[in-house]
Amino acid sequence: MNGNIELIPSNNPWDWLGKGIYFWELNPLMALDYAVRTASGEQKNAKKINTPFVIGAVINLGVCLNLLDLEALSILQAAHKEIEEIHKEADKKMPVNKDNIHRLDCTVFRHIHQSRSDAGLKEYDTVRCAFQEDKPVLIYIFTLKFGLV
């Protein structure tokens, strides 16, 4: 916080949006709630939080996969379909989201990032989205897209 500590990206196989540093846009209370739940062990995290706190940040979104935009939702939906096809061809079970462990979501977002890299496109700097923390992001985003919520 004084320039001597670097934020370390999370890189767990259950992270919703894949590898990265997660922020809550305009919602420091939700960020604090997450930190408190992580410190208590209620929220899964690879590292224990001893003292829950919140920092503020000004973030330049750069090349952003903005899931508030229909075009980005199409990218998400196509990636999900590709993951289904890859698993079907390999005769493997699809990863699933269960109990706030977002293995499917993480797999889809990692696929999006890898596909972009493979195509020689600039990688996304950020992913921006709005979803309820207690629902899997893909289900929420897809139902949002189709107007079912």
Q: How do the domains of the chain map onto residue ranges?
A: 28-145
pLDDT at 148: 42
Decide: residue 52, CB within 10 A, 0-12 exposed, 13-18 middle, 19+ buried.
Answer: middle
Beta bridge partners of 102: 97
Tokens (6 digits) for 33: 């709630």
* Confidence (pTM): 0.78
In which region does residue 99 sit, left (phi positive, over 0), alpha (psi from -120 to 50) or beta (all else)?
left
**DSSP string of 16-64?**
TTSSB----TT-HHHHHHHHHHHHHTSS--SS--SS-----------SE
Residues 115-144 pLDDT 10s: 999 999 998 999 998 766 655 555 555 554
Token pair for 53: 């706190």
Mind listing the pLDDT tens digit for each residue in 40-94? 988 877 777 889 999 888 888 999 999 989 899 899 999 999 999 999 999 999 9
Q: Round to whole Å and give the CA distance between 66 and 113.
A: 13
